[in-house]
Amino acid sequence: MNNKYLTIQQSTVAEYEINKSRFIAYLERIATENEAIEFIGKIKKKHWDARHNCSAYIIGEKANFQKADDDGEPSGTAGKPMLEVLKKNGLTDVVVVVTRYFGGIKLGAGGLIRAYGTSVTNAISATQIVEKVLFSRLAVTIDYTLLGTLENNLHLSKYIIESKEFTDKVTLNILVPKTTVSSVKEAIINWTSSHCSITQLNEFFYEISVSNEEKS
């Protein structure tokens, strides 16, 4: 399992025109191939009168499922360059459909490759990129007298306190990147002088916003 990967936060649409041909790029976040196929079908139905509705998608935290479709454009001039833009940006769990309304002027193979690639790049620039980071949830149980010290150190270290449960003791559920679990446990033991109980509960992907500048 990867510890992190990039995807998009929300769907977006971007338009691009060159030599009277109009390109409309639809970018959508997905989790399965069925969702990708359904989205592609939806756009094709919406733009039934367009000359081409080319598509590409990448699925999986390791980006291990990839597919591209030229939808009638010359082989390798649409779907493949669209897919390459997604890969270049390190994105997964995403599908893109670029609808082309032909303007009467042929662009040539090189022009098509650039146009479809630019359309996807514009759509990515118009959305927010998020990083999905593998986190672990830790349950830390301490005496009430240690609560202030532990909370202060956790806040200073920028760890996330998800919840607190008060019984005869206090249990804090803390969210930390999986790669830091060992060091966090060690730090908590030091902060509490070993007067704590730490249980590692589960793992999940936590979403963090990433600007396009940080991504590049």
Reported as a single tens digit per residue, the pLDDT across 4-31 is 899 998 899 999 999 888 999 999 999 9
Does residue 216 have a pLDDT over 70? no
- Higher per-residue confidence, 44 vs 107: 44
Enumerate domains of the chain plus CATH numbers: 4-127 (3.30.230.30), 133-212 (3.30.70.240)
CA dihedral (28, 33, 38, 40) positive or negative: positive
